[in-house]
Structure 1
Amino acid sequence: MPTTYVNGKIFVGTDEQTFANSMIIDDGKVTQIGNDLTPAGNVVDLAGQTVLPGLIDCHTHPKYIADALHGTACTPPNVNSIKEMQEALRQSPSYGQGPDTWIEGWGFDETKLAEHRSPNRDDLDAVSTDQPIFIYRSDCHSSVGNSKALELAGIDENTPDPVGGKIERFTDGRPTGFMREVAATQLLIRAKSAQSYQTDLTNMVNSSAHYLQNGLVAIGEMMGRMKPYTTLKLYQDAVQQGFAPKASIYYVFDELDPDQPLLPSGDQQLRVAGIKVFMDGSISGETAFNKEPYPSGKMGVSLTSVAKLKLEVEFARQNKLQIAIHAMGNATIQRVIDVTKDLQPWLDGMPSVRIEHASLMTDEMFKEIDASPMNYALVTQPIFYFAEDESYRTYLSPAQFKTAYRVKTMHDSTALLGLSSDAPCTPWAEPDSPFYSIYAAVTRKAANGDMVNADEAITVPQAVLGYTRDAAKIGGFTNNGTLTAGKDADFVILNKDIFTVSPNDLQNVKVSETWIGGHRVYQN
C-alpha cells in the first residue's frame, strides 16, 4: 500500500531551491513528489518537519569506525594527555578480558597532548602487557601498539620498514610501537584482524546503527583490503546479518595484483566501485607532500611516483573503475592533475578521477581542472579544519594556509564537490556527523572559534547537495541523492530546519528519523 507524506518541508535535492510539501512512496520507491498531492494509501503528517534525501558519506572508513565504536576515543575534550589516555584505556570494556582480546583506541593527535609527543609502547605497556593494544592516530595513517601487539605482528628490531611506511625506533633500535603511515599501520591491523574474523564481523554489523543515527544511508569504503580476508566478504556477511547502509568499496591498489583484472561488480546495496591510491600523508602529521617546505623545513612524503600513478590510472581505465587518489599536499595534487588532465574520461555518469581531500589547491590547479576533458570529483572534509585548526596553523606557512580547503572554489569549478568525513580520521568525538561538516563548510569556523579562510564558505543548500545529490553521483549510488520519482525512498527527518537555523546552530542539527526503502530504520 502506498504512503503519502504531507505537510513537510521536503528538500528534493535536484538543485538549491526546490522544495515540496508532500510525497508518495510505494514499494520502496518515491512515486510522486510535489505540493499538495492527492493522498493515496496511508497518510503521515510531517507536521512541518524538514526532510532531506538520505545522506551519503562518500569517503569514510567503516571498518575503522566499526573498530572505533567499541574502542576508546583518545580525543579532546576527555583525553588531553598520555596519562589521561592510559586511564581511558583502562576503562575500556575490553580491559581485563584476556590475552585474545585487543584493547583499541583512536583519535590521538600529539600536538593536542600535554606531552607534545605520541604515546609509545612503554606508555601502553603501563596499561597492559598481557593484552595487545592498538590506537589509531587521528589521521588513521599512523598508529601505535604496545609490546604484545608488536609481538603478535612479528615486529622486532630486525623487522625492515615496509615500502611506504616506517617503524619508528628508539635509539637502541627497539621499535617504539609507533607505526608511521598506512603501510606500517597495516602490519598491526592484519595481526588484529587475523586473530578474529568473527569479531570484525560483529563490530561491522553493530556499526549499522551508528550510520542510521547520523542519517547516512550510503557510504564509500575507502580502504578495501585483500588480506587477511577480502573487504567484500566482510560486507557480504555483514549485509546478511543486518548491516543496512549501501556501500561502494574501493580497494587499495597496493594489495591488488596489477596483472589480474578487478572489475566493477555488485548492485546498489553493495558494489566494488574502484581503486584507492595513496600519494602522500597528512598535514597534521607533516607528511603531506608540498612544493614548498613546511616552516619546520620538512617537505612531507611522496608515496607514489609519476610512473606508478600512470600505471594505476591505466589499470582503472582498463577495468572501468574509478580511481580515488589521496592527495593533500599541493605537490601531490599537482602530480595527479599533470598525469590525468589530458586523458579522456572512461566512465559515464560519474567521475573517473576522484581527488580525495584536495587540501591545498592553487588558482592554477582549478584552471587546469576546468580546462581538462577529464571528469573530476573533489572529495573534501570540512571536519578536518574544524577539528585540526591548531595543527594546520602550526605546520603550514600563512601562504599555504590560505589555500586550505577551498570549498567554495571547488563548488564553483567544473569538478563535482563531495563533502565527507574520512572518519574516524580526525581528532573529534563525532567525526562523521554530517552536521559538523556542514557547519564548518558554511561558517568556516573551527572548534576553537578560529575563522579558516572565510571567503571559501558555501551556503547550506550547497553543503547539503555535497552530502546528497553530488555525493550520490560521485559514489555511483544512482538510486539515491534526490527524492524524485523512481528513486529509492531513502530519506531523513531532522529535529531542526537546517535551512533557517542560525549558522552557529547548524552543528546542533540532529536526525530524528532515518528511512530506507520506505521503512523507518532509526528513530531518536
Structure 2
Amino acid sequence: MSQTFINGKIFIGTSETDFANGMVVDDQQRIKWIGNDPTPEGDVIDLHGQTVLPGLIDCHTHPKYIADALHGVACTPPNVNSIKEMQTALRHSPAYGQGPDTWIEGWGFDETKLAEHRSPNRDDLDAVSTDQPIFIYRSDCHSSVGNSKALELAGINENTPDPVGGKIERDANGRPTGFMREVAASQLLIRAKSAQSYDNDVQNMVNSSRHYLQNGIVAIGEMMGRMKPYTTLKLYQDSVKRGFKPKASIYYVFDEIDPQKGLQPSGDAQLRVAGIKVFMDGSISGETANNSVSYPSGKMGVSLTSPEKLRRAVKMARDNKLQLAVHAMGDQAIQTVIDVIKDLDPWLPEMPSVRIEHASLMNDHMFDQIAHSKMKYALVTQPIFFFAEDESYRNYLNAEQFKLIYRVKTMLNSQAMLGLSSDAPCTPWAEPDSPFYSIYAAVTRKAANGDLVNPEEAITVPQAVLGYTRDGAKIGGFDDNGTLEVGKAADFVILNKDIFTVDHEDLQNVRVKETWMNGQPVYQAK
C-alpha cells in the first residue's frame, strides 16, 4: 500500500537548499513523489513539522570492530582515565568470569589520556584475568594489547617474528609486552579471537544492526574486509540472513587478496564487494602516520606501502573495475598517493576511482595537484578525530602542521568529492560513530575539550549533512540512497530536533527518533 507523508520538513538532499513538506512512497517501497502539499495516497502519516533526512551513510567505518565493541568495554573518557580504572571496567564486563573460552574485550584507550601516560601491557591485563583471554583495541584500531592468555592462543612468544608491516612490542629481555603495534600485528590476536567462534561473530554483527539504525545509518562502508580466518563477505551474508539490516559495501585489504585470483566486484544493493583497501601509514595519535618531519619524540612515522606496491594495487583495482581506498593520514603518505596516481585516467565512470581515506594533513600544493589531476578523487575524512583527539594532535604536530589538519572546507571547495564518516570505533570517544558529533565538529570546529581547531575550515550544517547523505552515497556506491528523489529507496530518518535551525552548540544533542528502510520503520526511539 502507498503511504503519504505530510507536514514535514524534508531535506531532499539534492542540494543545500532543497526541501519539501511531503512525499509519497509507493507499494514497491520507493519514493513515488516528493514536493509540497501532496495529494494523499494510501496511508497518510502526519510528520507534525518534524525534520526528515535521507538515510545516513557512514562510508568509512569498521562494522566488525563495532560489533565487537558493543559487547566490549569502552576504555575511553570520561569513564576510564587510568589503567586502574580500565582494570575495574574490564572486571565489570559481562564476559568476565564466563570461562576460558570467552574473550574479555575492550576498545578505545589512548595512552596520552591515561593517568599513567603509557599503554597497558600484558601484566596489567593479567591482573584482571589469566584464565580468560583479554583483547583491547587502541583508539586508532591499528594497535592493540592482549594479556598472556590471548598471546598464548595466538601462538605469540619470544621467538615469534614481527609480521610484515607490524611490530610485536617486547621488553628488554625480549618478552612480548602484549602491545601489538599496527594492523598486521593486531591481526595475530584478532584471528585467534575470530577463529574461536564464528557463530559469535555473526551474532555480534546481527546485534549491532540496531546500533546503526539508532544512529540513522542505513548504509555502511566496511573498510577492513578480510580473507582470513573467513571471508568478510561470508560474515555479512550470514548476518543479513539473521537480520542485519544496513546495506554494506566491502573493501578488502590488499595484502590479503591472492594476486593470482584477484578480486571481482559482486553483490547487489544490499551487500556488495566494492573495492580494495591499502594502508600507506598508521595514525597521528599513535605517532605512526608518515609525516615529512619527525614527531617531537624524534620518531618517524611508518611507511606501510611502497610506490611500487601501490601501483600493483591500482592495477588490480583498475583491471577489476573496483574502487581503490587508500588510508593516508600523514602528509608524506598523502603526497605519495598523489604522486603515483595523479596522471592516471579514472576507470570508474559514475564514482571516484580513488578514495583517500582520512586525508588528515594536506597542504595547498596537494589540493592544487588534485585540481590539475586526471584522476577522480574522493576525500573521506573524519571531523570526530580532531574533536576527540585534539590533545594528541597538539602534542604530536608542530604549529604549522596543526593548521593543516582536517581541512574540511578546503576539501569541499576542491576538485575532489568530500565524504564525512566516522572510522568507528577508531577514536577515543564513547559514541564514535554518531553522525551528529561529526557534524557538530565540522560546523563548529570545536573539540570535546572546548578547544577551537582552525575555525576557518568550518562548513555549514547543510554541507555537513550532504557529506553524510548525497555525497557519502556517491562515494560509497549506494545508488539507491543519499537523496529522497523519485525512484530512490524510501530510506530516511526523522530527527528529534531541527538540525538546520538549532543552535550550533546543540548539534551534538541531535538524535534520531525514527529510522525507516524500504518504507517501513526499523527503529523507533523509546
Q: Distance in 1 between matches of 2:237 and 2:349?
A: 27
Partner of 1:177: helix, strand, or coil?
strand
d(CA) in 2 for partners of 1:400 and 1:299? 15
Match of 1:261 in 2: 262
Determine the structure 2 residue equivalent to 1:166.
167
Q: Deviations over 1:48-93 (max 9, x none)?
A: 0000000000000000000000000000000000000000000000
Tell me the amino acid that sits aligned with residue 23 of structure 2: M
Query: 2:9 and 2:138 mapped to 1: Cα distance?
Result: 41
Name the residue aligned to 1:3. 3
- The CA deviation at 1:499 is 0.2
Matches within 5 A, 1:226-241: 226-241=227-242
Q: Distance in 2 between matches of 1:74 and 1:234?
A: 26
* Cα deviation digits, residues 100-126 of structure 1 (max 9, x gap): 000000000000000000000000000
Opposite residue 250 of structure 1, the aligned amino acid is Y
Q: Write the distance in 1 (CA, Å) between the matches of 2:202 and 2:487.
A: 33
1:249-289 deviation per Cα after TM superposition (whole angstroms, max 9, x unaligned): 00000001112121110001000000100000000001000
Alignment correspondent of 1:17:
17
The whole-number CA distance in structure 2 between the counterparts of 1:87 and 1:40 is 57
**TM-score, structure 2 length as denominator?**
0.99
1:53 and 2:54 correspond: yes
Distance 1:187 1:293 in 2: 29
What amino acid does structure 2 have at the position aligned with 1:495? Answer: N
Aligned AA (2:101): D
Q: Measure, in 2, the Cα distance between the counterparts of 1:297 and 1:111.
A: 17
In 2, the alpha carbon distance for the partners of 1:63 and 1:387 equals: 22
Deviation at 1:523, TM superposition (A): 0.3
Tell me, in whole angstroms, the C-alpha distance in 2 between the residues paired with 1:373 and 1:303: 25
Task: Kindly report which structure 2 residues correspond to 1:311-390, keeping only aligned pairs within 5 A, or say none.
Answer: 311-390=312-391
Question: 1:434 matched to which residue of 2?
Answer: 435
Q: Which residue of 2 aligns with 1:291?
A: 292
Match of 2:243 in 1: 242
Identical columns (%): 80
Aligned to 1:508: 509
1: CA distance, partners of 2:313 / 2:347: 14
Could you tell me how far apart the structure 2 residues matched to 1:297 and 1:113 are?
22
Q: CA deviation at 1:366?
A: 0.3
**Alpha-carbon separation, structure 2, partners of 1:416 and 1:140:** 25
Aligned to 1:478: 479
Paired residue secondary structure (1:465): helix
- 1:53-452 equivalence runs, <5 A: 53-452=54-453
1:122-165 deviation digits (Å, cap 9, x = unpaired)? 00000000000000000000000000000000000000000000
Q: What is the CA deviation profile of residues 384-438 of structure 1, one whole-angstrom value per residue up to 9, with x for unaligned ones?
A: 0000000000000000100000000000011110000000000000000000000
Query: How much is the aligned-residue C-alpha RMSD, in angstroms?
Result: 0.5
Query: C-alpha offsets along residues 363-398 of structure 1, whole Å, 9 cap, x if unaligned?
Result: 000011011121100000000000000000000000
Q: Name the amino acid aligned to 1:141.
A: H
**CA–CA separation in structure 2 for the residues paired with 1:489 and 1:373:** 36
1 CA distance for matches of 2:108 and 2:521? 32
The one-letter code matched in structure 2 to 1:18 is: D
Q: Which amino acid aligns with 1:257?
A: D
The whole-number CA distance in structure 2 between the counterparts of 1:97 and 1:424 is 25
1:296 to partner: Cα distance: 2.3
Q: CA deviation at 1:298?
A: 1.9
Greater Cα offset, 288-297 or 123-132: 288-297
**2:451 and 2:372 mapped to 1: Cα distance?**
34
- Equivalent position amino acid for 2:344 in 1: L
* Counterparts of 2:346 and 2:264, CA distance in 1: 17
Which range is displaced more, 85-94 or 366-375?
366-375
Q: Residues of 1 paired with 2:280 and 2:350: CA distance? A: 26
CA distance in 1, matches of 2:123, 2:462: 49
Deviation at 1:194, TM superposition (A): 0.2
Paired amino acid for 1:9: K
Q: Distance in 2 between matches of 1:356 and 1:325?
A: 6
Q: Which amino acid aligns with 2:36?
A: N
Distance apart, 1:180 and its partner CA: 0.1
How far apart are residue 297 of structure 1 and its match? 2.1
* Equivalenced residues, count: 524
Q: SS where residue 243 of structure 1 aligns?
A: coil
How far off is 1:299 after superposition?
Answer: 1.8
Equivalent residue of 1:388, what SS?
A: helix
Aligned-residue offset at 1:295: 2.4
Q: Distance in 2 between matches of 1:360 and 1:292?
A: 12
- Determine the structure 1 residue equivalent to 2:519: 518
Q: Which deviations, in whole Å up to 9, do the C-alpha atoms of 1:338-373 show, x marking residues without a partner?
A: 011000000011110000000000000001101112
Look up the SS of the partner of 1:76 in the other structure: coil
Please state whether the residue corresponding to 2:87 is helix, strand or coil: helix
Of stretches 365-374 and 126-135 in structure 1, the one that deviates more from structure 2 is 365-374
State how far apart, in whole Å, the 1-side matches of 2:346 and 2:509 are. Answer: 40
**Amino acid of the structure 2 residue aligned with 1:344:** D
1:424 alignment partner AA = P
Aligned residue for 1:300, secondary structure, equals: coil
| 1:192-212: CA deviation from partner (whole Å, max 9, x where unpaired) | 000000110110000000000
CA distance in 1, matches of 2:378, 2:295: 27
State the AA in 1 paired with 2:459: I
- 2:406 and 2:262 map into 1 onto residues whose CA distance is 35
Query: Can you list the C-alpha shifts for 1:299-351, whole angstroms capped at 9, x where unaligned?
Result: 21100001111111111100110000000000000000001100000001111
SS at match of 2:53: strand
Amino acid at match of 2:19: F
Distance (Å, rounded) in 2 between the aligned partners of 1:126 and 1:54: 44
Q: Secondary structure at the match of 1:89?
A: helix
The runs of at least 4 aligned residues of structure 1 exceeding 6 Å deviation read: none
